[in-house]
Structure 1
Amino acid sequence: MSSEPVEVFRGDELAEGDPTPGMRRQVAFDGGGLWAGLVHTEPGASSGWHHHGEHETSLYVVRGAMKLEFGPGGGDAVEAGPGDFLRVPPHTVHRESNPTDDRSTAVIGRAGQGPPTINVDGPDPA
């Protein structure tokens, strides 16, 4: 049994997260192989291409919509809205965009080791 206390990370005290152009990440906590926070994408914006190294990533869309492009040449895509979950496997090069007129927000959970975000020029060609 653990004697470690339960911790609270207040929403108005989140730290700025690792940058990727076109999106804003906020970190609640990062430690012990678990990373949690938020990502915000403005209307019509697209992020830069990136992957999350060894991390497995889960996103839960709270508000707005998210489109994730991935695969050879970035030719595959999925879209998710409020109440939907997305899973991004380790090393999957992708970019997020917001196809709506409202700011999107998603809760992020990552499990893994190493840098949580690696920005790249783009996916491998098709």
Structure 2
Amino acid sequence: MSEPTTNPGEGFHPHLGGAAGQSGTPLRSRLHHIRADALDAGTAQTEGMRRFAAVSGRTTGSEKLWMGQTHVAPSTSSSDHHHGESETAIYVVSGHPEFVFLDGSGPRPQEVRLRTGPGDYVFVPPFVPHREENPDPSEEAVVVIARSTQEAIVVNLPRLYVLGQEDG
């Protein structure tokens, strides 16, 4: 009475057929297996980095969560951006990416640089302008990202600014 085990890419119910949504079974009534080589590059992008969706409304029918990876090439910096209403959690897989934002809690805004390494986590609150940098001249930085919205909201910006001081 046991179900057969699955091979990578077969999903939780191999008897249901092909990829998500192709079997006639609703996306939200089954588990989804997203292979590492099947990540979706058709997501919002920022200059200097590449984003790949794993879990999203399009790939799995997710309604409240987006999850994927970003890759920043050696000696590269992303453009300044924020993620709208999304809360963003970041897990560093490889490399030593730096996350840069402006802290406005003092008399003058100060640039803050969070230097990270494999196994570290970073939390980015909604609407906080920031950028990712990879200062390493030879190693790509790879992080896993989870967002509290269905899709990867990305608002590219001409510069960093402190929240509440966008017009300053």
TM-score, with normalisation over the residues of structure 2? 0.68
- Between structure 1 and structure 2, the one with the greater Rg is 2
What is aligned with 2:101? 70
Q: Which of 34, 37, 48 is matched with 1:12 structurally?
A: 37
Q: Deviations over 1:4-52 (max 9, x none)?
A: 2111111111111211000000011213121010000011100000000
Q: Which residue of 2 aligns with 1:110?
A: 147
Q: Which residue of 2 aligns with 1:45?
A: 76
Separation (CA, whole Å) in 2 of partners of 1:89 and 1:46: 20
| Structure 1 outlier segments of 4+, above 6 Å | none
Q: Which has the higher strand share?
A: 1
Q: Match of 2:97, as an amino acid?
A: M
Query: Unaligned regions of 5+ residues in structure 2, if any?
Result: 1-27, 58-62, 104-108, 163-167
Q: 1:83 aligns with which of 119, 140, 150?
A: 119
Is contact 1:74–1:123 with CA below 8 Å preserved after alignment?
Answer: no
RCO comparison, higher one (Cα < 8 Å, 6+): 1
Quick one: distance in 2 between partners of 1:116 and 1:66?
21
Letter aligned with residue 38 of structure 2: E
Alpha-carbon distance in 2 for matches of 1:114, 1:6: 19
Instruction: Pick closer, same or farther for the CA change 1:49–1:110 going to 2, 3 Å.
Output: same
